[in-house]
Structure 1
Amino acid sequence: MQRHYGLDWLRIGAFAILIVYHVGMVFVPWDFHAKLPGAWWVAVPMMASNPWRLALLFLVSGYASRALMLRNKAPWRFARQRSLRLLVPLIFGMAVIVPVQPWVELREKYGYAESFVHFWLHDYFRFGTIGPLFLPAWNHLWFVAYLWVYTLVLALGALLLPSFVRRAIQRGFTWTMRGPALLVVPIAWMVLVSFWLFPGARETHGLIDDGVAHFSYFPFFLFGYALACAPQTLAALVARWKASAVIALAAYVVVAGVEIRWPGSRMPYPWGIVFSVARSVEGWAAVAALIGYADGHWNRDRSWRRMLTEAVFPFYIVHQSIIVLVAFWLAPLALPGGVAFAVLVAATLAGCWSFYLGGRAIGPLRPLIGLRRHASRRTHVDPRPAIV
């Protein structure tokens, strides 16, 4: 497989949106580890990416996994390689990067009075609870943990299923996902998950008790895996990206309208149903539009692409801890919302770049922040797929 630069750019953009989204979480009424004074309307622009940002990342990860599976040839080699690349930074992140988040949350919400050093040395690794929080925690790194589990399931399936069964599944996917079903089937599945399989359920990010997340994200991961060897499906996404974008925009207008009418409250019948269905439509239509546009317009390399692609994983590992800590420091200053938002974005970007540039320059730290142990000497050719 050739590297798909369009999906690299999508992945970079999706993680950039994720960072801004998590900055926004500080200001909306929704629960978060640290809060600053905000306004209900901040939730409205956040709804523009809320239904699809994670689904897109899992899909792109599935696409990259197909390339890695083909390159490693044996499923057990694929599983070993992915385990090393995902579990090492996950464990490092849980032990070193994440702890500041529950410390801030316990201090701000539950009256915890000890210093961070005391918390990290005496309370964080208790494998039990303080207040409502179970420690140690992975917080935002749940994505990495879920991706590792999905990788193992994929490798197990490739090991156990005969090759003719795998080929039949791929042919069935390609034959189905090239016409109207390309929009209808994923949207119908998302509505089914929301209204029949897990009505009213919310994601827990606790792995074992998070059926709604697994039934939502694992199919996107598998879709990306199958898409990597389905050029007809990719061509259909390219041909329909404008129609998909119009549908996604119309669905977002409905979502935003309902949110503005009933901000942060329980929506009366039937508007709660309308809201959930519109989110499902927006979620898949936006993903379909973005993939189609990326393949048709962004599938080309640029000088900054390689560094940004490499930087994405370290940025993801550290960004939320920076946001939470800086918000904690800003709280006593009572800055206007716009100023606080700008400071948070600037501080987060500066901290992420420092974390990435410093970590990649020190050989032993590279695997801990999600980078290959040794920097590649290749400067012009980069056929390897994105790692997350």
Structure 2
Amino acid sequence: MNRRHDIDALRVLAFGLLILFHLGMLYVAPADDWKFHLKSSYLAGWLEYPMLASGFWRMDLLFLISGMAVHFLRGRQRLPALAWKRTVRLLLPLLFGIAVVVPIQPYVQGVSNGLVAPGFGTFLLRYWTGGPWPAGAFDGWQYGFTWNHLWYLPYVWLYTMGLLILLPVLESERGQQLLGRCRSVRGIALLVLPSLPLLAYYLLLAARFPINHAVYQDWYAHAGYATVFFYGYVLGTDAGLWRELARLRRHALMLAIGCFAVRYVIDQLGNWVDLSWLPHPVLVTARLWVQALRFMYAWTAIAAVLGWGHQYLNRPFRWLPYAREAVFPWYILHQSVLLAVAYGLLPLRLGPVLEPTLVLLGTVGGCALLHEFAIRRSRWLRPLFGLDARSRVRSLRQPAALPSQAQNA
């Protein structure tokens, strides 16, 4: 199977967007609506809509790409081997991350909240023994520990195991017929139909099961993320669907921009005009259309990213083998590095331009140095960050021969 460079590139860019999003969480206002482990004194209300513009679909895109990985790996491995490979690749970094990488995050949050005494060594010993902690000390205090941004790993593992259980059915004759019908969708249906289940989950589950990223009772999040994960498996490398996404890329982009713009106007109208006088059925219908626009925007944005990416990124960029290997360690590291840098810089009050610039540079620099000089050069550290024990990448200037798509998926 030839390597799909566009999917590799999109995975790298999607995780890069995650770094920018978490940087924005330090500065976006209002703070009560955009809670984060730390908040700068330089809050900006104008950041809210750029944050929403990516926040509606960035995690869905990552889960979709993760679903594609199962498709790629299944082409080379039997189910037990595939289940073991994904378990080691996902849960080993999760456990290591909870114990070693993440603790700086609850520490800086707890100290900033005034509920944890300064002194990281003392905190770490208490953290490793399960607390207990004062109520509200940090996100996840009630469990004694937290996985914070690493919640993505157990969720991907759960959906992977669920999909592997279903694979014998999906790979049966009737299953292949069903997948064939899904893969035959074309035109405007491809830009509309996948958003409808996501809207239905919101209407049926969101109010009853608010997103908590704790696995338990997170049914709304599970429904949406598992569905787009399955979309990724169905999409896989189907040539017809990818050609259609590339053909529809301009339509998808215009629809996404239009849906977001209309939703923005409606939001602003609600802020400027008192609409409470409208009949209740009219208000309910209006809210339904606003949410429909949200999920239509999310899916068409993903379709646009996939279509434009397939058109222009499916080539062997010289930087891509190195970035492909670096992306998982950077994901594991980035939020801890960001918060550690911000914890040191925020009290200095360096201003609304210099402060975020230095936080970003410190985050990127810290991840780059740790990956290049510690993780990728150590055979025992590499598996703890989701990598094979031996690197398949020689250098940026002399990349190794490209392996199959299943490697490092």
TM above 0.5, one fold?
yes
RMSD over equivalenced CA pairs, Å:
2.3
Q: Determine if the alignment matches structure 1 residue 174 to structure 2 residue 178.
A: no
- Who is 1:359 aligned against? 375
- Who is 1:94 aligned against? 98
CA offsets, 1:107-145, max 9 Å, x none?
112422141111110234417654232322111001111
CA offsets, 1:306-329, max 9 Å, x none?
001111100000100111111211
Identity %: 32
Instruction: Check conservation: 1:61, 1:386, Cα contact below 8 A.
Output: no
1:152–1:120 distance in 2 versus 1, CA, 3 Å: same
1:105 maps to which of 98, 109, 120: 109
Residues in 2 aligned to 1:255 and 1:129: alpha-carbon distance in whole angstroms: 41
- Secondary structure at the counterpart of residue 206 of structure 1: coil
CA offsets, 1:273-331, max 9 Å, x none?
45433221111001001111111221111110000111110000010011111121122
Instruction: Check conservation: 1:76, 1:155, Cα contact below 8 A.
Output: no
Residues in 2 aligned to 1:258 and 1:320: alpha-carbon distance in whole angstroms: 33
- Secondary structure at the counterpart of residue 391 of structure 2: coil
Residues in 2 aligned to 1:354 and 1:249: alpha-carbon distance in whole angstroms: 37
1:110–1:192 distance in 2 versus 1, CA, 3 Å: farther
- Secondary structure at the counterpart of residue 376 of structure 2: helix
- Who is 2:396 aligned against? none
- Who is 1:305 aligned against? 320
CA offsets, 1:305-363, max 9 Å, x none?
00011111000001001111112112211221221110111000001101211210111
Residues in 2 aligned to 1:239 and 1:199: alpha-carbon distance in whole angstroms: 37
The number of residue pairs the alignment matches comes to 384
1:173–1:161 distance in 2 versus 1, CA, 3 Å: closer
Q: Determine if the alignment matches structure 1 residue 340 to structure 2 residue 345.
A: no
Instruction: Check conservation: 2:346, 2:355, Cα contact below 8 A.
Output: no
- Who is 1:60 aligned against? 65
Residues in 2 aligned to 1:156 and 1:292: alpha-carbon distance in whole angstroms: 30
Instruction: Check conservation: 2:56, 2:294, Cα contact below 8 A.
Output: yes
Instruction: Check conservation: 2:321, 2:402, Cα contact below 8 A.
Output: no
Instruction: Check conservation: 1:47, 1:256, Cα contact below 8 A.
Output: no
Residues in 1 aligned to 2:24 and 2:267: alpha-carbon distance in whole angstroms: 16
Question: What's the TM-score, normalizing by structure 2?
Answer: 0.88
Residues in 1 aligned to 2:172 and 2:133: alpha-carbon distance in whole angstroms: 46
Q: How much has 1:376 moved relative to structure 2?
A: 2.3
1:224 maps to which of 208, 219, 232: 232
Q: How much has 1:151 moved relative to structure 2?
A: 1.0
Gaps of 5+ in 1: none
Moved more, 13-22 or 112-121: 112-121
Q: Determine if the alignment matches structure 1 residue 17 to structure 2 residue 17.
A: yes
1:292–1:105 distance in 2 versus 1, CA, 3 Å: same
- Who is 1:119 aligned against? 123
CA offsets, 1:57-78, max 9 Å, x none?
1111111210101111x11111
Gaps of 5+ in 2: 277-282, 394-398
Q: Determine if the alignment matches structure 1 residue 131 to structure 2 residue 135.
A: yes
Moved more, 189-198 or 349-358: 189-198
1:165–1:135 distance in 2 versus 1, CA, 3 Å: farther
Residues in 1 aligned to 2:266 and 2:131: alpha-carbon distance in whole angstroms: 41
- Secondary structure at the counterpart of residue 31 of structure 1: coil
- Who is 2:173 aligned against? 164
Q: Determine if the alignment matches structure 1 residue 3 to structure 2 residue 24.
A: no
2:222 maps to which of 190, 214, 231: 214
1:200–1:329 distance in 2 versus 1, CA, 3 Å: farther
Question: What's the TM-score, normalizing by structure 1?
Answer: 0.92
Q: Determine if the alignment matches structure 1 residue 281 to structure 2 residue 290.
A: no
Residues in 1 aligned to 2:263 and 2:407: alpha-carbon distance in whole angstroms: 32
- Who is 2:203 aligned against? 195
